[in-house]
Structure 1
Amino acid sequence: MASLAVLSLMKGSKILIQGAKNLSTKYAQVAIAGLPSVVRIVEVGPRDGLQNEPDMVPTDVKVEFINKLADAGLKNIEVTSFVSPKWVPQMSDHNEVMSKLIKRPGTRYSVLTPNLKGFQSAAAAGVEEVAIFGAASETFSKKNINCSIDESLERFREVTEAAKEKNILVRG
């Protein structure tokens, strides 16, 4: 059976699906073999967009940015990362960011965690979802997270097992 991809349409748009009548709906399902039935888009600007800023972004500015994204209707926002402040000083305020957020019902606020230590800090801050990340090359893996691909996979296993015990979602 073919997987279904969700095609988002503006209200009132019409499409034709394999000889079907014109449809006028907000969402139409189109059969596309091999694709997932749902795609979840995650806004990562508060984390990825800010982490390399040369000047420190004040915590209150980060929180306001995140709250405005949620107010605009975004449902999945990666808000910060629980990483060493030595390597990513811009994210050193992760606990404060988490505590100051105005959490909207229906919005999922996730954080990036590279290892078990980061996960434990994130869990203590009350996160509902963590993201893990890897690299396609040994060189990038070593430069980005200071370990080999095999070591990163072991870290992912540790994080996912700990997350399962605490009923915290994992995206990766």
Structure 2
Amino acid sequence: MNLRTTNHAKPPLIHPPGYKKSNIPIGNPNNPMQENKLSENTLITTEIWDESIPQPWSFSKKNNNKSKKFRLIMTWELGKTYAQTKVLDEKDALIYYYIDICSPIKNKGNVFEFQDWYLDIIKRPNQSPVLLDEKEFEQALNLGYLNQKDEKLARKTLNKIMNKLQTKNQIKTILF
């Protein structure tokens, strides 16, 4: 179904795009976080995701993993139109890489931030990459949450990353 032709009288199924900030945990606001500034342009944040306290979702249930603690290691590079997260279990085994397609990452007063443009890629070890939230992206375009310039940049970034991951399995050249 082409969402661009959907009747706009229906209530939106999605929210306006949100911002992710390097000083705010992805999960529970009480999750411990560390920052490591590698350079003026690159920041690494590490969040400890403990499922013994309430979280927005469960890594253990979604991934059939018995761990209750996870590390989310996120790379923020100024100007990039993607942010990369490496998810590890409590034994430091890789669960997956997660890539947010986003507005160019900015630094505002020592806080790196971006606008999340809905599109995400998940790459599990020894599996093909999977594109997530494409319908939400189309709805955001339909509702005017993203403009044509944003759409073009998001699709260019998505295609570049997916091509590298599918044809060459170059996760190491994109991530970390």
What TM-score do you get using the length of structure 1 for normalisation?
0.31
Q: State the structure with more CA Rg.
A: 1
Report the structure, 1 or 2, having the larger strand content: 2
Report the structure, 1 or 2, having the larger helix content: 1
Which has the bigger relative contact order, CA under 8 A and spacing at least 6?
2
What TM-score do you get using the length of structure 2 for normalisation?
0.30
